[in-house]
A = this chain, B = another copy of it.
Amino acid sequence: MTGDTVRYALFAEVFAALAHPKRLEIIRLLASGEDTAGGLADKTGLSKANLSQHVHILKARGLVHCEKRGAFCHYRLTSPKVLETCELVRQLILDQMDLTTQYRRQLASVAPLRKKGAS
């Protein structure tokens, strides 16, 4: 039981790393090839400090790898499985949208997560 608990926590950590729009955007950018922190900050519109934080989270979870060359840090994805996971979730979302328009509206109105929008 405890072992499972730890395992689930480990899973959750990885999912949590992916549970942010900007971090997903970073991953998508890195899918096109490695990039520097400055480049990522510029393309995502994040401040360097903020991007550094997000990248640190991705690094801590082992999703991206950092290689320091001179004054620049070059980031890249550690595994293509990261992209596969995103693709799978994309299909999951599309499936839900295809299933019923009802589900589609739920997903669209789910952003606040406070009001169920079903009023």
Please give the residue numbers on chain A whose beta carbons come within 8 Å of chain B beta carbons, in ascending order: 4-5, 8-16, 18-25, 28, 57, 60-63, 78-79, 81-82, 84-86, 88-93, 95-96, 99, 103, 106-107, 110-111, 113, 116
Q: Which residues of B contact A9 (CB under 8 A)?
A: 21, 111
- Inter-chain CA distance A19–B23, complex, in Å, is 14
* B residues in contact with A116, CB < 8 Å: 60
- Name the residue of chain B whose CB is nearest to the CB of A109: B60
Secondary structure at chain A's binding surface: helix, strand, loop or mixed?
helix
The residue on B at minimum CB distance from A56 is B116
The 7 closest A-B pairs by CB, nearest first: A8-B21, A16-B19, A62-B96, A15-B19, A15-B18, A19-B19, A8-B24
A103 CB to nearest chain B CB (Å): 5
Cβ–Cβ contact A91 & B96, under 8 A: no
- B19/A4 in contact, CB under 8 A: no
* Interface contact A15-B89, CB-CB below 8 Å: yes
